[in-house]
Structure 1
Amino acid sequence: MRMLEDTKALLARVLVPNAPKICSLPLDQARRMMQGSIELLERPAPRLARINTFTIPGPDGDLPVRLYDPLETGAASPVVLFFHGGGWVFCNLSTHHSLCAEIAQQLGLRVLSVDYRLAPEYPFPAALEDSLAATRWVAGNPRELLGNVTGLVLAGDSAGGNLATVACQQLAGTLAVPLLAQCLFYPATDLANRYASAESFAQGYMLDTEDLQFFTRSYLPRRALRADPRVSPLLADNLENQPPALIFTCGLDPLRDQGRAYAAKLIQSGVKVHYEEAAGQIHGCLNMRKALPSAQDQLTRCLAILKQMID
């Protein structure tokens, strides 16, 4: 498959021969390196009317969140609840700050980013429990959001896409406000099976086989959990009650076929799906939009589609 020119230039710059794998480094060092890499490669966040960081009640103490409000009108509107990627091991509110601000600005909606607990210190189901708790909290119209919530969009990238997907499956039809859509950027949907894209792009495309294995071991110390639908939402028996989905995958991503398969299963279940695939693009591109200008264009296209879905 042809590689985009900006992607080719980035990979030539960052893939240093014989460099240690990030997953082989001490955890604190690896997390700092991941954050530093994103800061170098990501665009500055757009200015918004209000950005507040605070905590909400979580299942195991306070849960940090960050609210992005592009308008600060106090008017009732939908809210986008965003779960960051990073293999359930890396990343935080800061690594996805620019992306969340961009989503808020382009949609003209409030975005709440959730800093869920990370593995391996907190393996499954900690991240999922935090995600469910945050969703229920937002659906309850808390005063901290300074404006009623008329509906929810659950969104996330990679591991965060996994959490958004599972939260939709767990909570559809149970909340005080409707789930209007799910927005999944290159989501992990099946940790139990191996796909052709994982073989085709096993090395040399930023997210390698070793990384995937490290993330899976960290999040799921028990191998038997990989087939649990709360981990692998593609394996859920029934998807008929799921909200409309925007699913974005990258052509050079080992997770590509998982996103394709989940889109296909939703369609077979009668769920409305808009599927976008960025040919020649790599996993994590939406956090590297300064280095990958093409990814900014792709994000803008996805958000325009999402806006139409929820208007």
Structure 2
Amino acid sequence: MVKSEVGVVSKVKQIWGLVKVLLPEAVVRWLYAGRRTEVAGRVIDPKAQAVSDLVALMRASDDMPTVEESRAQLLAMARKLEQPASESVGTRDIMLPGADGERRARVYTPSGLADTGSVPTLFYLHGGGWVQGAIESHDGLCGRLADLAGMRVVSYDYRLAPEHPWPAAVDDVLACYTALVRGETELAVDPAQLVVGGDSAGGNLTAVLMHDIAVQSLPMPKAQVLIYPAVDARLSSQSMQDLSDQPLLPAARIAWYLNLYIPKGQDRLDPRVSALMSDRLGQQSQALIVVGGHDPLWDDAHAYCDALQAAGVATTLLPFPGQIHAFLSLTKVIPQGNEAIEKTARWLRDVFEGS
């Protein structure tokens, strides 16, 4: 087959892959009957299989883009596949402190709630491997959490590697949290009405922040939300091995992120890198942990849940055994992402209604 014919076949496969992603879940289930991936007894959900197959057609698991390409790819995927928030949610951009100057943040406020008063607030840290991701890539997720949970969400734009390697991001997050709880920003934030949360790398930064809060003897937030968090940089768990070629987050890409984020020679078991190693777990707030069974971080989430519970922290695990990494940001095509957002919002409402 000549090169031009190979290109045509590849294009046709990608188009068919996209069609499968957009079809109703019942149809996709029928198309994949008897052919869905199973790992450690966990069968992947139909639409998650379709998304995984499409990504595999578009990039090799060991083919690393440039940082600029990676950032553009994530933003493009979010714009195409993330369900937007209701128009009733108000948004405005403000500046909040960082460790080395002010950083941009976006405030999401559902209808009927003040955006500057002392109200229930989620301080949100976006994912993206510490290298990519932005307020814009998580705009739909943050807006929908604000709407469904009935609370203000503050999405924070911490510094990214490789321009700003560790500990720039963790220092930014700590500086901003400190200013928020000390009343040094335009937002009135009561720690008793504050939740810290994030996904993936943002879940890591959330867990690290909880460690830092305990070390610094700062007021603890009401709760924490960890969405497929990365908490163990050893990358040696069983799910990390079983899912090393999972197209959404292959092992090669995880290693690429970490190598860009962590300076050479830095101890990766430092609790400000691997929050699972923290000796302050028992001082932390109640937690919700969300994770998918076809995400290499499946075992990270379970290990962290076990560690928090062993330390006496009330921790709820919300597992989706058939789901992939980033599924809460793929809500136009993966229905379980919507379910996870709704359940997370319900948990957040319960946190405040039960207090």
Q: What TM-score bracket applies, with the shorter chain setting the length?
A: over 0.9
In the alignment, structure 1 residue 174 sits paired with structure 2 residue 217: yes
Contact 1:181 1:310 in 2 (8 A): no
Aligned residue among 229, 250, 261 for 1:208: 250
Residue 117 of structure 1 corresponds to: 159
* 1:98-155, Cα deviation, whole Å (9 max, x unpaired): 1000111111111111100000111000000111111112213356326766432110
Residue 34 of structure 1 corresponds to: 74
Name which of structure 1's ranges 75-84 and 115-124 shifts more when overlaid on structure 2.
75-84
Matched ranges for 1:219-234 at <5 A? 219-234=261-276
* 1:65-104, Cα deviation, whole Å (9 max, x unpaired): 1111113335532211000000000110000011000111
In the alignment, structure 1 residue 76 sits paired with structure 2 residue 92: no
User: In the TM superposition, what is the alpha-carbon distance from 1:278 to its structure 2 partner?
Assistant: 0.4
Residue 104 of structure 2 corresponds to: 64
Secondary structure, aligned partner of 1:190: coil
Residue 24 of structure 2 corresponds to: none
**Equivalents in 2 of 1:29, 1:273: separation in Å?**
37
* 1:170-196, Cα deviation, whole Å (9 max, x unpaired): 114833x54110100000001035100
Matched ranges for 1:222-301 at <5 A? 222-301=264-343
Secondary structure, aligned partner of 2:194: strand
Q: Which amino acid aligns with 1:174?
A: S
What TM-score results when the alignment is normalised by the length of structure 1? 0.93
Residue 204 of structure 2 corresponds to: 162
Aligned residue among 154, 167, 180 for 1:138: 180
Q: Which amino acid aligns with 1:206?
A: L
**Equivalents in 1 of 2:145, 2:321: separation in Å?**
22
Q: Which runs of 5+ in 2 are unaligned?
A: 1-41
User: In the TM superposition, what is the alpha-carbon distance from 1:13 to its structure 2 partner?
Assistant: 2.6
Residue 11 of structure 1 corresponds to: 52
**Equivalents in 2 of 1:35, 1:93: separation in Å?**
10
Name which of structure 1's ranges 221-230 and 262-271 shifts more when overlaid on structure 2.
221-230
**Equivalents in 1 of 2:129, 2:69: separation in Å?**
16
The change in CA–CA distance for 1:220 and 1:47 in structure 2 (over 3 A counts) is same
Give the root-mean-square deviation of aligned CA atoms: 1.9
Name which of structure 1's ranges 54-63 and 259-268 shifts more when overlaid on structure 2.
54-63
**Equivalents in 2 of 1:30, 1:245: separation in Å?**
31
Secondary structure, aligned partner of 1:281: strand
The change in CA–CA distance for 1:209 and 1:143 in structure 2 (over 3 A counts) is closer
Q: Which amino acid aligns with 1:241?
A: Q
**Equivalents in 2 of 1:226, 1:195: separation in Å?**
15
Contact 2:53 2:247 in 1 (8 A): no
Q: Which amino acid aligns with 2:52?
A: L
What TM-score results when the alignment is normalised by the length of structure 2? 0.82
Contact 1:77 1:149 in 2 (8 A): no
**Equivalents in 2 of 1:153, 1:147: separation in Å?**
10
User: In the TM superposition, what is the alpha-carbon distance from 1:55 to its structure 2 partner?
Assistant: 1.2
**Larger Cα Rg: Structure 1 or Structure 2?**
2
**Equivalents in 1 of 2:144, 2:183: separation in Å?**
23
User: In the TM superposition, what is the alpha-carbon distance from 1:62 to its structure 2 partner?
Assistant: 1.7
**Equivalents in 1 of 2:198, 2:233: separation in Å?**
17
Fraction of identical pairs, as percent? 32
**Equivalents in 1 of 2:293, 2:309: separation in Å?**
20
Name which of structure 1's ranges 8-17 and 28-37 shifts more when overlaid on structure 2.
8-17
User: In the TM superposition, what is the alpha-carbon distance from 1:266 to its structure 2 partner?
Assistant: 0.6
In the alignment, structure 1 residue 306 sits paired with structure 2 residue 312: no
Residue 64 of structure 2 corresponds to: 24
* 1:24-79, Cα deviation, whole Å (9 max, x unpaired): 22221221111111211111222244211121222212211111111333553221
Q: Which runs of 5+ in 1 are unaligned?
A: none
Contact 1:191 1:226 in 2 (8 A): yes
* 1:270-297, Cα deviation, whole Å (9 max, x unpaired): 1100111101100111111111122101
Residue 87 of structure 2 corresponds to: 47
User: In the TM superposition, what is the alpha-carbon distance from 1:226 to its structure 2 partner?
Assistant: 0.5
The change in CA–CA distance for 1:165 and 1:143 in structure 2 (over 3 A counts) is closer
Aligned residue-pair number = 309
**Equivalents in 2 of 1:20, 1:192: separation in Å?**
23
Secondary structure, aligned partner of 1:240: helix
The change in CA–CA distance for 1:21 and 1:36 in structure 2 (over 3 A counts) is farther
